[in-house]
Amino acid sequence: MASKATIERRETALPVQNDPDILNAAARLAGEDMCSIADLSSGEVRAILKLGHHVKHNPREYRNALDAKQMVLMFEKASLRTRLSFETGFSTMGGNAIFVDQTNSPLGERESIADVARNVERWVDLIVLRTYAHDTITEMAANSRVPVINALSDFEHPCQALADFMTLEEHFGSASGLNFTYVGDGNNVCHSLMLTGAQLGTNVTVATPRGYSPDIEIVTKAREIAELNGCEVRLLQDPHAAVENADAVYTDVCVSMGYEHESTKRAPIFRPFQVNETLMQKARPNAVFMHCLPARRNAEVTDAVLDGPQSIVFDQAENRMHAQKALLLLLLGGLSNVEKFNT
C-alpha cells in the first residue's frame, strides 16, 4: 500500500501544466456541465483526481486561479460538507461564493427553472445545485450558458464519488484493480460510485436488499464502462459474500433525504446489511471503511467501525474540497491562470 507521504511526493513532483491527461481534460471540459459521472470519460475522471492530489499538496499555486470568478450555490437540501467544501475551496482560489437557500422554496416553484437559469447566468460564472429531482439539474444545465455542477440529486452524487476515489488513491496508490464493495441502499451515492469505479478500472460489488437495487440504466452503463476498462460490476443480495476479499467497504444511510416516511418500513429490511466488526472481518486485512456522511450511528454502521482504525470517512470529507477544486479549475479554465500568477 502506498503511504500518504509517497502519494504526496509523487504528486508534488508532477508537472501538472504539462500533463497530457490534464491538458486534454482542461480543453474538453472548459465551460461544460457536470450533471453525472457519465458526462466524463475515463481519462477525464483520472485527470480530475490527478489534479485534485496536486491541488491538495500545492494549494498556494492555485490561490489566484479563479480570481474574481463568481459561483452561486442553490440548495434545496440541508448540507454541511457540500456547502463548506465548495465555498472554502472556491474562496481559497480567489473566487466568491454566493449561497441561496432553496430549502423552503424549491427551484421551479416561484418561477421556471429556465427563467432562473437565464437570470443567474448573467451574474455568475458557475451554478452549483443540490436538489431533489435530477431533472432540475439537467433542465438548469440545458438553459444556462455557464457551467452547472450536480452537488447532489436523488439520482446521483458525482462530487462525492470523485472525492471517495481520490481518497482510495491516497491509501492504495491506485484505484485500478481494487475490489470495492458497497453495502446498503442502491441510491444516488451508489450510482455515482458504480460509474466512477468503472471509469477507473475498479471491481465494484453492490449488495442491496431485494427491491432496493440500483437503477438498471446506471447498472447497464457502469457495466459498459467496466468492460472497456477491464473490471467488473456485480450485484448481490448477500452482504457477507459481497464483502469477501474487499479492499474497501462502503455504506450509506438506508433512508436518504426525501424518504424519511419510509424509515419504519426500511429499518428491519436493512438491519442485516449493517457494517459491523463481523462484516468487516470478511474483507481483506488492510481494507478500509468508507461512508459519505452523515452517518446514523449504530444503524447502517456501528461506532466500532465508524471510529475504528480502518475508517477513512473524514479523509473522504476532507477530499471533497480538493476534488471539487480540481473540477472547478477545469470547468472554469482556471489552469491558464496558475502559471501566470506563479511566475
Catalytic residue among 33, 154, 164, 252: 252
Q: Tell me: the pLDDT tens digits for 152-170?
A: 999 999 999 999 999 999 9
What 3 state SS string does the chain have? CCCHHHHHHHHHCCCHHHCHHHHHHHHHHCCCCECCHHHCCHHHHHHHHHHHHHHHHCHHHHCCCCCCCEEEEEECCCCCHHHHHHHHHHHCCCCEEEEEECCCCCCCCCCCHHHHHHHHCCCCCEEEEECCCHHHHHHHHHHCCCCEEECCCCCCCHHHHHHHHHHHHHHHCCCCCCEEEEECCCCHHHHHHHHHHHHCCCEEEEECCCCCCCCHHHHHHHHHHHHHCCCCEEEECCHHHHHCCCCEEEECCCCCCCCHHHHHHHHHHHHHHCECHHHHCCCCCCCEEEECCCCCECCCECHHHHCCCCECHHHHHHHHHHHHHHHHHHHCCCHHHHHHHCC
Q: Is position 160 annotated as part of the catalytic site?
A: yes
Cα(136)–Cα(120) distance, integer angstroms: 15
CATH number of 159-317: 3.40.50.1370
Q: Three cell numbers at 77?
A: 437540501
Q: Three cell numbers at 95?
A: 473566487
CATH number of 14-156+320-336: 3.40.50.1370
Catalytic residue among 46, 54, 130, 134: 130
Which pLDDT score, from 0 to 100, does residue 341 have? Answer: 52
Which pLDDT score, from 0 to 100, does residue 260 have? Answer: 75
Which pLDDT score, from 0 to 100, does residue 257 have? Answer: 66
Q: Nearest-CA neighbor of 334 among 19, 49, 93?
A: 93
Rounded to a whole number of angstroms, the CA Rg of the chain reads: 19
Which pLDDT score, from 0 to 100, does residue 263 have? Answer: 81
Catalytic residue among 54, 157, 291, 322: 157
Which pLDDT score, from 0 to 100, does residue 133 have? Answer: 97
Domains of the chain, residue spans: 14-156+320-336, 159-317
Cα(329)–Cα(267) distance, integer angstroms: 41
Which pLDDT score, from 0 to 100, does residue 340 have? Answer: 60
Q: Mean pLDDT by 10-residue block, N- to C-terminus, for the chain (343 residues)?
A: 40 62 95 98 97 96 97 97 98 98 96 98 98 98 98 98 98 98 98 98 98 97 98 98 98 80 88 98 98 96 98 98 98 86 53
Asked if the domains at 14-156+320-336 and 159-317 fall in one CATH topology, the answer is yes
Which pLDDT score, from 0 to 100, does residue 17 have? Answer: 66
Q: Is position 154 annotated as part of the catalytic site?
A: no
Which pLDDT score, from 0 to 100, does residue 2 have? Answer: 41
Catalytic residue among 81, 171, 320, 322: 320
Residue written as grid cell 500545492:
58
Q: Is position 252 annotated as part of the catalytic site?
A: yes
